[in-house]
Amino acid sequence: MLKAFSTSVGKKAIVAVTGLGLFLFVFGHMVGNLQFFLGRDTLNRYAEFLHSVPELLWVVRLGLLAFIVLHIAVTVKLWAENQAARPTRYVYQNYQRATLGSRYMILSGLTVLAFIVYHLLHFTVRVVPDDYAYLYEDKIDGIPVVLSRESPLPGHGPATKVVVRVASPSPSLADDATESQAAAEMTVSSRNLRHDCYGMVLAGFSQPPVVAFYLLAQVLLAFHLSHGASSMFQTLGWNSPRYRPLVSRIGPVMATIICLGFISVPIAIQIDVWTGVFGFAAG
């Protein structure tokens, strides 16, 4: 690994391999997100499954973190070396064959990194806002509930009974009528509760500023993937003249599919906020 850092070819290979790993994760994550359209039970069962083996989950998380750190560190090092080798900018910049994604790889990558940090705080750590940590679902009857802040979170206290409030279909969209319903208290066994990932996604993407930032990040991610995938194939030697026309299209096509897959959820939720056409709140 250390020897690879000493050569330009080795650094590019590290960027390509880590990029491939991150690309596969992003695609899998998109497929998982699309289960939102299958309803509350399907998405919550999927999220529960992912968290059912915390040891494996942390191995995946730490592996992804290592890939991200390596990918960014080596990419920045390559960029710095290229700049040092060409200290004087050309009088005429020829962008004829350079794509928009290739010219702004560093900028798009760093912006996507900032989004990843926010996304983790938003939906994984659930501290922005911290209300999401209290969104649960009763697995027995499928009722979304909101734990009171005085009740122990499932897995963080006695697995007996906790006092909860019946949640309105979407906390951020509740009107006066549903607010009065949401205040009704009930008691359920914490063993029957699982985190309401569906309600969290619905509440998060009901906020236009969050959706705007999310859409911007996905567009930049698409630019990044579009150029990155093509570069990866070239670096790994999979870009022979015979298959070059096909390989040159794989990056843009996959980037477009991933972008459309990710943005379909927040856009659909925003449409539903204004029209109620999809009935997500009924869930």
Q: What is the per-residue DSSP string for 194-250?
A: EE-HHHHHHHHTTSHHHHHHHHHHHHHHHHHHHHHHHHHHHHTT---TTTHHHHHHH
> Residue 265's pLDDT is what?
96
Per-residue pLDDT 10s for the chain (283 aa) are 555 567 787 888 888 888 888 889 999 999 999 999 999 999 999 999 988 888 888 888 888 889 988 988 888 888 788 777 765 554 445 444 445 445 556 666 777 777 778 777 767 766 666 678 788 888 887 888 887 766 666 665 554 555 566 665 444 444 444 444 444 566 666 677 888 999 999 989 999 998 998 998 898 888 888 877 777 777 777 666 777 777 778 888 989 999 999 999 999 999 999 999 998 977 6
Pair 265, 200: CB distance under 8 Å? no
Q: Is 137 within 8 Å of 143 (Cβ atoms)? A: yes
Element (H, E) at 3: helix 2-5
CA atoms of 223 and 252, how far apart (whole Å):
8
Cβ(127)–Cβ(195) below 8 Å: no
CA distance 233 to 118: 30
Tell me, what's the pLDDT at 92?
46
- Residue closest to 165 by CA, chosen among 184, 142, 141, 139: 184
59 to each of 44, 55, 56, how far by Cα in Å?
Answer: 22, 6, 5
| Residue 108: per-residue pLDDT | 67
Scan for tokens 């969209």, then name that residue: 173
Task: Give the pLDDT score at 95.
Answer: 45
Q: C-alpha angle with apex 36: 34 to 39, nearest 5 degrees? A: 135
pLDDT digits (tens, 9 = 90+) for 174-220: 444 444 444 456 666 667 788 899 999 998 999 999 899 899 889 88
Task: Note the pLDDT of residue 180.
Answer: 45
Give Cβ neighbours of residue 112 (< 8 Å, ≥ 6 apart): 217, 220, 221, 224
Question: Could you count the other beta carbons within 10 Å of the beta carbon of residue 164?
Answer: 23
